[in-house]
Amino acid sequence: MRSQQRSALSCLVVVTWRRRLTNRRSLQDHFGLGFPRSSSEHLRAWTTLNRELTQTIRPDNGLTSDIEDAHPRTLWASIRREGNWSNFDYYYHLGYATRQLVANTAGVRVRDLKANITVLAARPDYSEAQAFLRQLAEHVDNAVEQFTRQAQLVGQTIYRDALRNAAYWAQCESVYGSGRSFRRVVSNQTRDKFNEELIVELHRRLNEEIRRGWATLIQGLDAFLEAPAAA
């Protein structure tokens, strides 16, 4: 399971950029050099400056917020099923929160890259590179989509074993109908659970997977932007 999670973020990104790289070389064959070297170097400067994601992702903060907004009986029904219930699925919420956080973090950087591509595409002296720039923009969109989708998958699965048969569920269920503020207590207990040493280690592993997936995405862009050799 650990090795599968370790490769989950990178495998689809690798397949995507290799496919795009093959198509890119076809364009280069069609246009000769096809893409001005100076523009390639300009865009490669972005990959140099954005080689790492440094932010730390904690999807449990999104989960505790969703718990406080849930209907009490819906939340109780999910807790009785150890978080596996279609109307309130703990693991879906963890995965979705992971994807949103990653998309927000990476999105700021990617918007800057797309803006650079748009500026280059608008320059008359790059008119022969229009097809390449369109393909590059498409490659970026697809690579980021694959990256965030796989981040969601890892966020959705990485905590599951640690929460299976945990005393946490019984503790949360016992609050229901006791007169205490059910959602607030469950939210606080969830926060405490996700600060336990075992799950803190899972946070670390999740962030390692996210950074590895981003590094693979950047590697694909580097290959895509590799200046073509002169004929």
Domain assignment present for 219: yes
Burial class, 42, CB count within 10 angstroms (exposed 0-12 / middle 13-18 / buried 19+)? middle
Q: Which helix (H) or strand (E) holds 171?
A: helix 167-173
Distance CA 215, CA 220 (A): 9
Query: What is the per-residue pLDDT for 9?
Result: 52
Domain-located, residue 100: yes
Give the C-alpha separation, 115 to 208, whole Å. Answer: 28
Does a structural domain hold residue 229? no
Do the domain assignments include residue 92? yes
Residue 143 counted as domain residue:
yes
Percent of the chain's residues with pLDDT above 70: 81
* Cα–Cα–Cα angle for 108, 113, 115, rounded to 5 degrees: 95
- pLDDT at residue 162, rounded to an integer: 95
User: What residues make up the domain containing 139?
Assistant: 2-224
Q: 179 burial class (0-12, 13-18, 19+ CB within 10 angstroms)?
A: exposed
Residue 29 confidence (pLDDT)? 45
Asked whether residue 115 is domain-assigned, the answer is yes
182-200 confidence digits (pLDDT tens): 999 999 999 999 999 999 9
Low-confidence ranges of the chain (pLDDT < 50): 12-15, 17, 26-34, 227-231
Let me know if residue 204 belongs to a domain. yes
Say how many domains are in the chain. Answer: 1
Within a domain: residue 231? Answer: no
Q: Quote the distance between the C-alpha of residue 222 and its chain's center.
A: 19
